Amino acid sequence: MNAKRNMAKGPEPREGETKQMEGMDLASVIECARGHDGEALGEIYRRYVRRVFGLCRYMLNSRESAEDTTSEVFLKLQRSIDSYDRSIPFPRWLLRVAGNQCIDALRRRQRGRRAIVEVEDGAAVTEVPSSEPSPLGAVISKEERAEVRDAIARLPENYRVALVLRYYSELSYDEIAQQLDLERNYVAALIFRAKKELRRRLPHRSK
């Protein structure tokens, strides 16, 4: 669904260059891109740059890094697109690649520290007693969405990364676990805690 949305509102194409690619279906564009067709790669860029940039922006929490990483993703795409095997939809694959790139960037950024994503008390999923549930509400306004984004941006990195991979990239727990090199149970615990922390930081949104 996200892919569709993005295909609809990609940035304006550069003059003339990508005009004839515009109408092509994704499969043919990808096919052309695999043949190292510059215009096809440009078209993929045009369609998905916002989506990828959004992911990088959320994951890295810095516009500069996000811009750099987005560039890297698309520059590397020239080679990496050969490894796309159509087993999953292309946008999903691209976001996975971008996610990996972001994680690399995060690891580079804090080489000194240990792995970027760690659950503090070495927690596996422990059955938390069903406390009073206080999730965020259903329909929220534009301002409130911005508030939620701000709160996510301020979460500790491990929480932020997990939430973004799950609810922006829409990866499964298994995929996230694979990307972050963690146990699936850890990922589940991480996301659960991240949401709890988010609720705590957005008290007026709780029911």
Partner 1 sequence: MECYSEQTCALAVDGELAADEAQRLRDHLTTCHRCRALVDALRAENRALSDSLNELPEEAASPASSSPQRRSWGWSELAILAAALLLGSIISGWFNELDIPAALEWFNPFSVSGRTNLTFQLFYYFAHGGTAMLADYAAVVGWICLLLLLGGSALLLGRRGRPHYPGLRLLIVLLALSLPSFALERRHGEFVTVTANETVDDTLVAAANMVRVDGVVNGDLLTFGRTVEVRGTVKGDLISFAQRTEVSGTVEGHIYTFARSLDLEGQLGHSIYGAVQSLHIDDRGRVGDGIVVAVGEATLEGEVKRSVNIVTGGSVDVSGTIGRDLTMIGRSLVLTNTARIGGNLSARVRQLKEVQIADGATIGGKRDIQVRVRESSFTRPRFYFHQAVWFAGAILVGWLGMLLFPGFFQATTQLVSSGWRSLGLGVGVLAGVPVAMVVIAITLVGFPLSLMVLALYLAAIYLAKIWVGAFLGRTLLKPSGATKSDWLLGLLVGLLILTLLGFIPYLGGLVRLGVVCLGLGAFAGQLYRASRPVMTA
Q: Give the residues lining the site for partner 1 (CB under 8 A).
A: 2, 5, 11, 14, 36-39, 41-42, 45, 49-50, 53-54, 57-58, 63-64, 66-68, 70-71, 74-75, 78, 108, 125, 127-131, 133, 135-140, 142, 144-146, 148-149, 152, 163-164, 166-168, 170, 172-173, 188, 191-192, 195, 198, 207
Minimum CB–partner distance for residue 113 and partner 1 (Å): 18
Minimum CB–partner distance for residue 203 and partner 1 (Å): 14
Question: Nearer to partner 1 by C-beta: 41 or 102?
Answer: 41
Question: Nearer to partner 1 by C-beta: 26 or 49?
Answer: 49
Minimum CB–partner distance for residue 93 and partner 1 (Å): 18
Minimum CB–partner distance for residue 195 and partner 1 (Å): 7
Minimum CB–partner distance for residue 125 and partner 1 (Å): 6
Chain-centre distance for alpha carbon 152: 13
Question: Nearer to partner 1 by C-beta: 2 or 100?
Answer: 2
Question: Nearer to partner 1 by C-beta: 28 or 206?
Answer: 206
Contact 197, 155 (CB under 8 A): yes
Question: Nearer to partner 1 by C-beta: 14 or 19?
Answer: 14
Q: What is the DSSP string of the chain?
A: -HHHHHHHTPPPPPTTTTHHHHTS-HHHHHHHHHTT-HHHHHHHHHHHHHHHHHHHHHHH--HHHHHHHHHHHHHHHHHHGGG--SSS-HHHHHHHHHHHHHHHHHHHHTSSSS-S---TT-------------PBPSS--HHHHHHHHHHHHHS-HHHHHHHHHHHTS---HHHHHHHHT--HHHHHHHHHHHHHHHHHHSGGGB-
